[in-house]
Amino acid sequence: MSTYPYIKVQQDDFDLTTEVAKLREGHTDIGAVVSFVGTVRDINEGDDVSVLELEHYPGMTEKALEKIRLEAHERWSLESSVIIHRIGKMYPTDQIVLVAVSSRHRENAFYAAHFIMDYLKTNAPFWKKETLPNGEERWVDARLSDKDAEQRWQ
Amino acid sequence: MVNVLYFASFREMLGKADEQLPANHSTVDSLIVELASRGDNWKQALLDNQNLQIAVNHDVANRQTEIRAGDEIAFFPPVTGG
């Protein structure tokens, strides 16, 4: 397994190019890199969104993300992987989450990145609160479709 | 003692983020029943809530999970990260 398999929970933004370069560092047997970047939309449930605030459960978050990451390694023989999730206040177009994985062949990398995101959505203890333009704040409700997305991997 | 944590909408609804309680319950369920007796908002969040999520020592748990002194028990709504 790589010297760069890890998870990060941070307020700071991340740079895709830098992270993918680190993911590939020291590997000559990688044939595929798949990355996913989640970003803040300016609309949710039909309403404009001005601010998105991410809260998490320190300690459990890292443990949950690492568990998901290691399961992906086991199921798809990944060479390396990284999960970065931001917390705190974010604004429309900001990056929220990065998942990047590498493997020898593309199929495993595609599946693994998809799996990690689906599991992260329903298993990692993060909560979103959005602020509307009129100042109203509301907690984002969990989607049933996210639970369905998780089920397909079982 | 056990450390009890509340996150997101639960923290706001219950008016606290965490508290230390005597370790006099053997399961999460028993702890929930005691907390629910504090008032309607507690009962609504913890006892009557079909979507209640529970963690014990950073692992996903349920109402039957056993607890003991020193444990960290967290209550929260379904997660919405990503």
ipTM score: 0.95
Chain A CB contacts of B76 under 8 Å are: 57, 125, 127
Helix ranges, A9-56 (H): 16-24
- Sequence-separated contacts (24+) of A138-144 with Cβ below 8 Å: A139/B8, A139/B9, A139/B77, A139/B80, A140/A44, A140/B80, A141/B78, A141/B80, A142/B51, A142/B77, A142/B78, A142/B79, A142/B80
- B57-78 average pLDDT score: 98
- State residue B77's pLDDT score: 97
pLDDT of residue A2: 44
Give pLDDT < 50 ranges for chain A: 1-2
- Contact call for B79 and A121, based on CB within 8 A: yes
Q: Taking CB atoms and an 8 Å limit, are B55 and A125 in contact across chains?
A: yes
Predicted local confidence at residue A83, as pLDDT: 98
Q: Could you tell me if B6 lies within 8 Å of chain A, comparing CB atoms?
A: no
Identify the pLDDT of residue A27. Answer: 93
pTM: 0.94
What does the pLDDT read at residue B64?
98
The pLDDT score that the predictor gives to residue A144 is 86
Q: What is the identity of the amino acid at A104?
A: R
